[in-house]
Structure 1
Amino acid sequence: MRRRVATVTAGATLALTVSAGAAVAAAGPPMPEFRGRGLMHVFSTVDYRTRVDVTDVSGLKRHVLWPMSWKVCTQSPAAGKAIGDEGVRIGVVKHGEKCPTAVAR
């Protein structure tokens, strides 16, 4: 009888350890600081499986087609926060333009 109790205890401990490890892994890697960098840097840094939503925040509602022509003004999640399953949201303007002071969310 004692042997069976020890086995159940060890199995429960292993299950708790595995589920705690899965929760940490699901959080994802930390988000780098991209503001002020080129949009191409985002695509070359973030894992290829991560969803990246890019929006022109200049107010001109342009399509972002050529990443080399754009710089990052806003990012979500913030630098240092975990990149989750929802992916990354990046606000950009063309190189040579200033980032707007207030960006509509």
Structure 2
Amino acid sequence: MASPSSHTICIRGITHEGKSFRPSDWAERLAGVMSRFRPGEVRLGSHLSYSPWCVPTTIDGVKCVLVHSDLRAHEPMAWDFVIHFARDNELQLIPAGLPPDEPAA
């Protein structure tokens, strides 16, 4: 499991209604789409690994994606895409350091 920092937003695979988000591999798919957004130059074969700014993980048995705020500085449209994905699918957005049952401000 990746450990979130204070500059990370956690997108939890639980809707606001408390249902698990489907498909079950949504976190890996989202992180795969974001794999090209990374520090430095895009290198040959880098699409085969996740970006350090958008990492799928499991926290307390729930699929999540950890999104680092450096993504916003590097590519604001990619940041907006990830955040809108979460909002459009009514997924929980939690700033790092908050327990899952506390709402994000």
For this structure pair, what is the TM-score category when the shorter chain's length is used for normalisation? under 0.3
Larger relative contact order (Cα-Cα within 8 Å, sequence gap ≥ 6):
2
* Normalised TM-score (structure 1): 0.25
Report the structure, 1 or 2, having the larger strand content. Answer: 2
Q: Which has the larger radius of gyration?
A: 1
